[in-house]
Structure 1
Amino acid sequence: MVIARNPDPESTLPYLLWVPVDGGRVFRSKETWPRTKAVFCYPLERGDWPAEPDVLERVTLRSCVRRGAAIDLVADRGREARSQIVFTRARGRPMVFWQAPRTRKQARPDVRIPTARAAGLADLRITVDSRERYAYKFTGQQVSTQVAALPVGDYGLLLDGVLSAAVERKSVADLASSVLNGTLRFALGELAALPRGAVVIEDRYSAVFKLPFVKAGVLTEALAELQVRYPNVPMVFCETRTLAEEWTFRFLGACRVLLEQQAMLDADVPSGADASAGAAVDPPVATPSATAAAAATVPTATVRAWAQREGLDVAPTGRVSGEVRRAYLAAHPAGG
């Protein structure tokens, strides 16, 4: 791997990286190594590497392997040997972060993922959307998976062949991109139409404030507005991908138990025909809103004339109080 100085004086990323993978990948970089925090990089074309680079360091690598959305690097040295270049997208353009074990550990809680069954289910089956890239494997969990095209969400629960619950997975960068381009609003609307739906984010909420090229205030305001607009679709920040996978597993298990219980209760409720045949039916009760609506239909002059005859305190002109109108309705239940 070669680290050189960026010849573009107007760039805010002062360094260039040449990584020996895929025939050579070139990035602009904020730092020469992710020592204290994840380093923002920007991918370039291979031809953007200068013909005569101002080389700062040549790092001999023991390993340089592309694994899905990341490049794993192992330098041939004792310290600062391991790092990872992670690819994502935000606002319709590629974004790359270069991180080391030390910087990644800051967002990796020291927890042990439980392997108990979700909601005690021995036969939980999760449907993974066929368009989902780098899907959760639910390794170590007592669950089976199947791949199918889901109309909404990345992970779903099918009951009797019908999508009844779904979880949309987001990285923080994906979350920001979908908020700014409006696609998250439509996704939340579709999730809200299901019996149960949720969005899981693979990072801490604090990561929202650290995204480059995005004003944190704009993003957090938009997230708050969307959550209020769709209160039945929680957006859950889970710190890491592993914890987000665990939460998705537990959420869909709980959804299945609850929805199956509701279906059983609905099946026990007698139909309208059964109720009319044998069950006693209570007479309708006038609610306060219904009473107010009925009172509003009676002409004010009629109510005032009745109140004056009854000796009630009522003004000769203007509005009649709600108390007087309710008294009129009580004395005239049939509206006479």
Structure 2
Amino acid sequence: MVDDFLIARNPDDQSRLPYLLRLPLGRDGVVLKARETWPRTSKVYCHPAAGWPADAEVVERVPVRSCVRRGAAIDLVLDRGRENRSQIVFTRIRGGREAIFWQTARTSKQARPNVSVPRARASGIADLSILVDVHERYAWRFADQQASTEPRALPVGDYAVELDGHVVAAVERKSLQDLVSSLLSGKLGYALGELAAVPHAAVVVEERYSKVFGLTWARPAVVADGLAECAARWPNVPIHFCDNRSMAQEWAFRFLGAALRQAEQEEGGRTRLASLPTGVTLPPAEPTTAQVRAWAQSLGYDVSDRGRLRPQIWAAWHEAHDRDSASGS
């Protein structure tokens, strides 16, 4: 029985996994094919090998302090100063296929970041008042943030802030399963359309984007395309993926605080403009896309019902209104 951890070159030149690993576990050991010799920057994909070749070309041999199986993983501790602790994880991926990944504490941090969220104010607001929809199940409490919550029947979103009695920002919370289900059923599009009517809105997902490509009950490519189409159709309502529930809550807290501060600044700007001295005139405000679209449609121009307008339409609007201004009409 060999008590060392062995790494050899894979004699199969056609294999995409150029190395063999031999773990000193059991009488015959565990032999795996691997892509790398150590998981330095990311998890290393492995695959079971037929066995350890008699004439193996060993490239590395390291004494082992401990090699123990714990459930669906093998903990491996090597007898050296650096790159000594790792884990072989047996799991299932897309389509229910079995898979093996070789990881370290450093590479697995990407899934569960070992960080603590700051307790600082959001955009300088001492106690951010967040409205929570009464229909929200297992709602965020914002216990670690400088915020208070108030249950309210919200017309849109799960969490919101208001200014002068009007909702100025809203956040829709989604789990990955809820996001994909609503996307495939078409409900997500209606929700994004409603959120787009709010000055500041976003959807936050309690999961990493990479998890989309590990779905087994929905085609990852279809989901990815659907999310991309949503981003293109409603660019003012981003879908933001976070690592977990805690990170999603923190992101929503910061977003709502920043949106409220922006709304206050915009309202202050309008107040200052409204109080200009007598005799001071300003040029007319630039029309919105909706106003120009309605004007163009009334004159029979070929314009779409949504999205950007062609530069020719804007040019025609300016030409018509400049002409009206010059004639005094």
Pairwise TM-score range, normalised by the shorter structure: 0.5 to 0.7
Give the residue type in structure 2 aligned to 1:217: A
Matching of residue 260 in structure 1 with residue 261 in structure 2: no
Aligned equivalent of 2:12:
none
TM-aligned CA distance change 1:289 to 1:111, over 3 Å: same
| Structure-2 residue corresponding to 1:201 | 205
Which residue identity does 2:240 align to in structure 1?
V
Q: CA deviation at 1:123?
A: 2.3
Corresponding position of 1:169: 173
Structure 1 residue ranges, 4+ long, deviating more than 2 angstroms after superposition: 78-81, 280-284, 287-294
Q: Deviations over 1:208-232 (max 9, x none)?
A: 1111220111111111111111000
What SS does structure 2 have at the residue aligned with 1:243? helix
Matched with 1:179 is 183
- Look up the equivalent residue of 2:157 and give its one-letter code: G
Partner of 1:189: 193
Per-residue CA deviations over 1:119-146 (Å, capped at 9, x if unaligned) read 1111210011111111111122111111
The question of whether the paired residues in 2 share the 8 Å contact of 1:128 and 1:135 is answered with yes
**C-alpha deviation, 1:190, in angstroms:** 0.6
Is 1:140 the counterpart of 2:141 in the alignment? no
Q: Please state how far the C-alpha of 1:115 moved relative to its aligned partner.
A: 0.7
Q: Does 1:155 align with 2:159?
A: yes
Using the TM superposition, give the Cα deviation of residue 255 of structure 1 relative to its aligned residue in structure 2, in angstroms: 0.8
SS in 2 for 1:269: helix
Task: Tell me the TM-score normalised to structure 2 length.
Answer: 0.54
Alignment of 1:288-327 (within 5 A): 289=316
Instruction: Specify every segment of 5 or more residues in structure 2 that has no aligned partner in the other structure, as ranges.
Output: 1-42, 44-68, 73-104, 286-313
Partner of residue 60, structure 1: none
Could you tell me how far apart the structure 2 residues matched to 1:207 and 1:291 are? 48
Taking a change above 3 Å as real, the CA distance of residues 282 and 214 of structure 1, as seen in their structure-2 partners, is closer
CA distance in 1, matches of 2:114, 2:175: 20
Task: Indicate yes or no: 2:119 matched with 1:115.
Answer: yes
Cα deviations by residue, 1:86-145 (Å, 9 ceiling, x for unpaired): xxxxxxxxxxxxxxxx9x976211212111011111121001111111111112211111
Matches within 5 A, 1:204-243: 204-243=208-247
Deviations along 1:273-304, one digit per CA (max 9) or x if unpaired, are x78x51245699xx95457669xxxxxxxxxx
| Offset at residue 164 of structure 1 (A) | 1.4
Is 1:245–2:249 an aligned residue pair? yes
Q: CA RMSD in A?
A: 3.3
Q: Alpha-carbon deviations, 1:161-200, whole Å to 9, x = none?
A: 2211100000111100010111110110111000110000
Counterpart in 2 of 1:278? 279
Q: In structure 1, the residue corresponding to 2:123 is in which secondary structure? A: helix
Q: Secondary structure at the match of 1:218?
A: helix
- State the one-letter code of the partner of 1:156: A
1:270 Cα deviation from its structure 2 partner? 2.7
What amino acid is aligned across from residue 175 of structure 2 in structure 1? Answer: S
Whole-angstrom CA distance in 2 between matches of 1:131 and 1:291 = 47
Instruction: Measure, in 2, the Cα distance between the counterparts of 1:269 and 1:256.
Output: 20
Q: Map of 1:37-186 to 2, 5 A cutoff?
A: 80=71, 107-186=111-190
Sort the Cα spacing of 1:255 and 1:292 in 2 relative to 1 into closer, same or farther, 3 A.
closer
What secondary structure does 1:199 align onto? strand
